[in-house]
Amino acid sequence: MSQVNMLETGPKFIPEDKVKEIREACSIVEVISDYVSLKKTGTNYRGLCPFHNEKTPSFFVNEEKKFFNCFGCGERGDVFSFLMKHENMNFQEAVRSLSKRTGISLPEKALTPQQQKMLGEREECFGINESAAKFYNDLLLQDRAGEEAKNYLIKRGINIETIKDYCLGFAPEGWGSVVKYLRSKNLSLPNAQKLGLIIGKGNGQYYDRFRNRIVFPIYNVSHRIMGFGGRIISEGEPKYLNSPESFIYQKRRNLYGLQTALKYIKKENRVIIVEGYIDLLSLHQAGIKNTVAALGTALTEQQIQILKRYTSNIITVFDSDPSGKKAMIRSLEPFLNNSVSPRVVILPPGDDPDSFVRKQGQKAFVDRIENAGSLFDFVVGEIVQRNQTATPRGKIDACEEVVPFLKMISDEMERDLYVQKVSQKLGIKQEHIYSKMGSTSKPGRFARSEKPVLQTTSAFQNNAEKLILRIMIDYPETIDIVEKEALLEDFTEPDLKELGKLLCMEIKQHGKHNLPYLFDKLENESWKKIIAELSFQDNYAGNHVKTLEDCIRDLRLRKSSRERKKVKALIEQAETTRDDSLSLKYQLEYQNLLQEERKIQRYKLNFYQI
Ligand SMILES: [Zn+2]
């Protein structure tokens, strides 16, 4: 959904000048840095694209132009579109969230009740979760009903401060506690049902989903509560019960504890993944804050992609019991599919991260992390151990189990190294392993190859025309020359010609151009693509005046040569009809064109023109 549509055809909630003001006021680099680790390169910032899976960064952000562009997948836009795409916000929400950030207030009065309702539903849902979290938290900390739960947490080493920080709570035994509470607060029960906090019986009656459980609010990176995880304290099934997915909560795309861990993951350039909520809280409490937990499921590819934006140093921690080992083997595939080579820590028998840290302390845990081995090695070791590799049959079985993983490694060199290792470990020749992998010798790359950064993918070839547009974008003052020399008239690529005209109009109207604004005006997707690509190419080798000069020469020479071709055809035609005087006329014209071209070769821009 483009912003211009929202603003022009949708209800006009936010005045356009406010939108512009906010866009100008906030740093797009800062906002995106909350989600992507960016490095400065030239005039741009660069990082791994959050919208597609990649190994070499092709995601660029330009502060001055207030714009981002991915050369890999083509996602692009301004700071609002980034939040819309990344945070699943609508345009209103993106503007509102940045209005808070920039302190630029938005007029609220003009909203009709219906507009308010539309706007407010998401906000209300977060509000419901936050109210419920507070209700549960109060019960845990202050009510007799929560005493057993509180004692359980304290026994597991979670202190009161952590309970407060992560807003842990207790959902009481009855069927209607939270329903009653939400009703007393006048909050929408149908919305609470959408969130899965309560369950409808069909006749306007509801009952609580979470009963007699410790509840763990699950936050998004903006510190809003999306849902809950609930753990039973005593006996009972299921041990864990979580909020279902809702329009504000997708568990495959979120991680427990990320709202706090993010800052530390970036700072330490490393992330630790544990299995349970309590493990995570225990580690955070011990000061190991670059830790996240999967949300009650095996780690998903989306979760790995999220972490990969911040660091490629990923360490997973597993218990040494059979279910921990199984989970470890299962976790390898999504990593390999995302070209990540994680490391792994296997805790001593009987320990989980929580008990280990409490018994042996923070330093011992960090030591384990520092010395973590490759997950792939552990998985191979595990498979080898499980199969009776003393026998040939056992060796072959083990090899067959490892081969699918080997095939998933996208880096050729890394894959070869692992084939070598497996070959040594099992005593099976490398060729045999490769042939089991479906390739006779060393295989080629399995992964899709990635496009080189900054390669222009547009179909047009005419470099001078593109360069002129680039210079117009970067140096708006050059449009005087462009107009005076009527350069656009000589453009052969219609798209570029139209875009050039549009740029001239923009710049003449506003004295400069505003890239996001211009983008809103463009309806044609291929134009957007052209503008985005041109805007993100880095500076010219020489200076822009000289480059413009070269372009003008090139443009004119091409034009002249096209005309010469036509004249040459006319000469040939005149000669076949033996029309000597006509032929002579065209020959003279041909000579003139050649002479003109020699002049063009010497063409220089008057420096003071610019
Ligand atoms: Zn991308």
58 CA from centroid of ligand 1 (Å) = 7
pLDDT-derived band at 112, boundaries 50, 70, 90: low
The answer to whether the beta carbons of residues 189 and 206 sit under 8 Å apart is yes
Which of helix, strand or coil describes residue 315? Answer: strand
436 CA from centroid of ligand 1 (Å) = 34
Cα 471 to Cα 348: distance, rounded to the nearest angstrom:
62
The CB-based long-range contact list for 578-581 (8 Å cut-off, 24+ gap) reads none
306 CA from centroid of ligand 1 (Å) = 13
Which is more confidently placed, 126 or 16?
A: 126
Cα 102 to Cα 105: distance, rounded to the nearest angstrom:
8
60 CA from centroid of ligand 1 (Å) = 9
- Is residue 345 within a helix (H) or strand (E), and if so which, with residue range? strand 343-346
Nearest to 273 by CA among 186, 342, 192, 357: 342
Using the structure block, give the residue that is written with the tokens 């804050």. Answer: 289
53 CA from centroid of ligand 1 (Å) = 7
Residue 182: predicted pLDDT: 96
pLDDT-derived band at 132, boundaries 50, 70, 90: very high
528 CA from centroid of ligand 1 (Å) = 16
602 CA from centroid of ligand 1 (Å) = 43
350 CA from centroid of ligand 1 (Å) = 43
74 CA from centroid of ligand 1 (Å) = 6
Residue 541: predicted pLDDT: 58
**What are 328-352's pLDDT values in tens digits?**
898 999 999 888 889 999 999 999 8
Instruction: Calculate what percentage of the chain has a pLDDT beyond 70.
Output: 90
375 CA from centroid of ligand 1 (Å) = 27
Residue 581: predicted pLDDT: 86
41 CA from centroid of ligand 1 (Å) = 17
Residue 460: predicted pLDDT: 33
Q: Give the E-state strand segments of 159-313 in sequence order.
A: 169-171, 198-200, 206-208, 213-219, 225-232, 240-242, 271-274, 291-293
Instruction: Calculate what percentage of the chain has a pLDDT beyond 90.
Output: 38
349 CA from centroid of ligand 1 (Å) = 42
Residue 364: predicted pLDDT: 95
480 CA from centroid of ligand 1 (Å) = 36
79 CA from centroid of ligand 1 (Å) = 15
312 CA from centroid of ligand 1 (Å) = 17
Residue type, 445: R
344 CA from centroid of ligand 1 (Å) = 29
Q: Is the pLDDT of residue 96 over 90?
A: no
- Max mean pLDDT among 195-199, 299-303, 482-486, 599-603 falls in 195-199
Q: Is the pLDDT of residue 277 over 60?
A: yes
219 CA from centroid of ligand 1 (Å) = 26
Cα 387 to Cα 393: distance, rounded to the nearest angstrom:
9
The token pair at 92 is 């209103």
Q: What is the average pLDDT score of the chain?
A: 85
54 CA from centroid of ligand 1 (Å) = 8
24 CA from centroid of ligand 1 (Å) = 24
Give the mean pLDDT of 300-313: 87
- How far lies 283's CA from each of 2, 215, 225, 469, in Å? 43, 18, 21, 54
Q: Where does residue 532 fall: left (phi above 0), alpha (psi -120 to 50 degrees), or beta otherwise?
A: alpha
495 CA from centroid of ligand 1 (Å) = 24
57 CA from centroid of ligand 1 (Å) = 9
Give the mean pLDDT of 268-283: 93
β-bridge mates for residue 318, sequence order: 346
The token pair at 409 is 């490694």
517 CA from centroid of ligand 1 (Å) = 22
70 CA from centroid of ligand 1 (Å) = 5
71 CA from centroid of ligand 1 (Å) = 7
Q: Give the E-state strand segments of 266-342 in sequence order.
A: 271-274, 291-293, 314-318
Q: Is the pLDDT of residue 423 over 80?
A: yes
Cis peptide before 238 (omega within 30 of 0): yes
Residue type, 2: S
Give the mean pLDDT of 585-596: 88
- DSSP code, position 246: B
Give the mean pLDDT of 118-124: 77
Give the mean pLDDT of 480-504: 89
73 CA from centroid of ligand 1 (Å) = 4
414 CA from centroid of ligand 1 (Å) = 24
**What are 450-467's pLDDT values in tens digits?**
332 233 323 334 588 888
88 CA from centroid of ligand 1 (Å) = 16
Which of helix, strand or coil describes residue 483? Answer: helix
283 CA from centroid of ligand 1 (Å) = 33
Q: Is the pLDDT of residue 540 over 80?
A: no
10 CA from centroid of ligand 1 (Å) = 28
- What's the half-sphere exposure (Cβ side, CA atoms, 13 Å) at 486? 4
Q: Is the pLDDT of residue 68 over 50?
A: yes
77 CA from centroid of ligand 1 (Å) = 12
455 CA from centroid of ligand 1 (Å) = 14
Cα 79 to Cα 29: distance, rounded to the nearest angstrom:
9
DSSP, residue by residue, 1-26: --HHHHHHTS---S-HHHHHHHHHHS
Residue 1: predicted pLDDT: 36
The pairing of strands 67-70 and 76-77 is antiparallel
The pairing of strands 343-346 and 44-47 is unpaired
Q: Where are the alpha helices (DSSP H) in 26-112?
A: 28-33, 79-86, 91-102
62 CA from centroid of ligand 1 (Å) = 15
454 CA from centroid of ligand 1 (Å) = 12
Which of helix, strand or coil describes residue 524? Answer: coil
Residue 545: predicted pLDDT: 81
47 CA from centroid of ligand 1 (Å) = 10
Q: Is the pLDDT of residue 109 over 70?
A: no
Rounded to a whole number of angstroms, the distance between the first and last alpha carbons of the chain is 39
76 CA from centroid of ligand 1 (Å) = 9
